[in-house]
Chain A
Amino acid sequence: MPRLHARLLGPATLRRPTRRRAARSARAGAAGAVVAGPQDPTTKGDPGPSPDERPLPQPPLVVATADPSLMRMLAFALDQHHLPFVPFTSGSAVLDALLSMPKTGPPAVVLLDVDLPGVDGHAILERLGVERPDSYLLVVLSSHADESTQVRSLLAGALDHLAKPFNVRVLMAKLRRWTAIARRCEAPRC
């Protein structure tokens, strides 16, 4: 599915891919993303709309999970909903990418599977809480959904805590909502 492949390359539906955004997605891609490659051909040679009708920049959507089947399903779902995203399969890679993302621009919406190899998802939450507080809309995905775990995730700074197995359609609706919220955020904090 070449279209899907192209969709996986980062914020490819931007009307005006700025140098900074391209650099960010390149860095994110280099830091362990599953796929990397050329930009979506539709954006090349596009003169871009005039300043008044220029839409707000799309916040990056980061999906981090080590489960390949889950990644496949999310990729399919995000493709159907025209939501471009950057995939990660290792905890340390996603942590590095999040720590090195620029502090301006809309915050990234991060879907983080807690059962990641390398660095534990909760540890990522704690690190981000210490070093880049409130800069991301981070959603935790976990097999455990009991009260204590949910409360811990939320109090550690997560936007939401979802239990696996989750409802994909509901998640897509939530993601659209969250990216809309992120878009309206004032950088660098939300």
Chain B
Amino acid sequence: MLSLDVLSVAMALEGVLIAIALGGLVLLRMWLVARAHRVEAGVAALEPQLHHWLVEDTPPDAIVRALRALPTYVAFRSVARLATGYLTFERQQRLAPLLRHETWVREVLNGGESLLWWRRFDAARLLSIVGGPDDAPLVASLLSDTSPAVRLVAIDAAARLGGALVDFELATLPSRQDAVQQYQYAALGRHPAAVVAAVEARLTPLETPQRLTTWIDAAAALAHPSVLWRVRDMALHPDPNVRLHVARALRRQPEPETVPVLLRLLQDDDWRVRAQAARALGALRATSAALPLARAVRDRAWWVRYRAALALAQIGGSARGELLLVARGDDLLARDMAKLVAGLSSAAVVEMSEV
């Protein structure tokens, strides 16, 4: 069983397999290099046309014709690279209808139903540049793709559809990780009108707290006044997580009515809510909050002291005076925090309060 012969056969077999793999890799390399060269040539050929269109606003027909002349993958990769680097959303919107019915575009978009993830990825990528309302079903399926990379790029594709898939996008949102949610909010901001109504409709006390925090974050990203009124009304929600997100969202609402709400949240039981309320008051430059913030610098929780001190520094004027008073006070922890923040350069205050 353990004989040398069996071993020899096993080794030989494995050796052959690895050798085949190596040979395959060499061929793959040669192929990829050839493709890369063609893409570079394609980009170089397109650039002058693109410059003319962007700078002189000549009709983009030359670009469309130039793309038609290239092999499909070269056209696709060139467009992807140039769109990312130089085309604003608006310019892409102008170019999209001209390209949408090109043969090479249809060929790439047909990959949206492929079993191979990279074909679906390419389809989503191209849709994020030239997509239109007709592509809504395909984008919807890509939004719920098994591959997270495809889903991510599909979010950009959905931004092209003028809000057609808003409900679909919002449905998937609560189950995603933070980073993906942030990415989604940025994409949703492209067509605020449709999204605002949808988010407003979901900001009801009937929603579960977990979903509610997602809608509140979406509202904060949109920064639309009417939606933020709804958010403000949730400031007294029983769940501390919800109140936390409300406090964070209210930094986007520089209205006089926001300040009293934030001052109430500054007295909340949960330290995280107090910290975000202090941060929001600083962002709003609420001069009337100087004294409450000075009290908050003496809070038990480190984060509350930190945010309150930074807020006082941000507000400036008499608030800064309050900060300096605390820095000379008798509460040791508050004094240290106040001295730290008071001694920061203004650039550092901006950095630490913004980020």
Contact = CB atoms under 8 A, between A and B. Distances in A.
A and B in direct contact, judged by CB atoms within 8 A: yes
Interface of A: 67, 69-70, 72-73, 76-77, 80, 126, 129, 146-148, 151-152, 155-156, 164-169, 172
B3 interface: no
Given A148-B355, A152-B354, A156-B347, A77 B85 contact: no
Nearest to A148: B354
Nearest to B81: A69
Given A73-B51, A77-B51, A167 B350 contact: no
B55 A80 contact: yes
A169 B85 contact: no
Interface string B64-92: 00000000000000000000111110110
A24 B65 CA distance: 45
- Per DSSP, chain A at the interface is helix
A77 B47 CA distance: 13
B330 interface: no
Nearest to B82: A69
Contacts of A69: 43, 47, 85-86
A73 B55 CA distance: 9
A4 to B, nearest CB: 12
Contact of A169 (B50, B57, B347, B351): B57
Contact of A165 (B51, B88, B351): B88
Nearest to A81: B55
A123 to B, nearest CB: 11
A155 B57 contact: no
A70 B82 CA distance: 10
Nearest to A125: B347
Contacts of A147: 354
A126 B347 contact: yes
A143 to B, nearest CB: 10
A156 B43 CA distance: 36
A77 B51 CA distance: 8
5 contacts: A69-B47, A70-B86, A77-B54, A148-B355, A152-B350
A156 B350 contact: yes
B347 A76 contact: no
A168 B57 CA distance: 10
A73 B347 contact: no
B257 interface: no
A80 B51 CA distance: 11
A152 B65 CA distance: 43
Interface string B37-60: 000000100010011001111000
Given A77-B51, A155-B346, 8 more contacts: A70-B85, A76-B55, A155-B350, A164-B85, A165-B84, A165-B91, A167-B54, A169-B55
B55 A152 contact: no
Given A73-B86, A151-B354, A167-B91, A80 B56 contact: yes
Contacts of B186: 146
Contacts of A169: 54-55, 57
A155 B347 contact: yes
Contacts of B56: 80
B33 to A, nearest CB: 21
What 5 pairs across the A-B complex have the smallest Cβ distances? A148-B354, A77-B55, A168-B54, A76-B51, A155-B350
Contacts of B47: 69, 72-73
A178 B254 CA distance: 30
Interface string B252-279: 0000000000000000000000000000
A164 B89 CA distance: 11
Contacts of B55: 73, 76-77, 80, 168-169, 172
B130 to A, nearest CB: 16
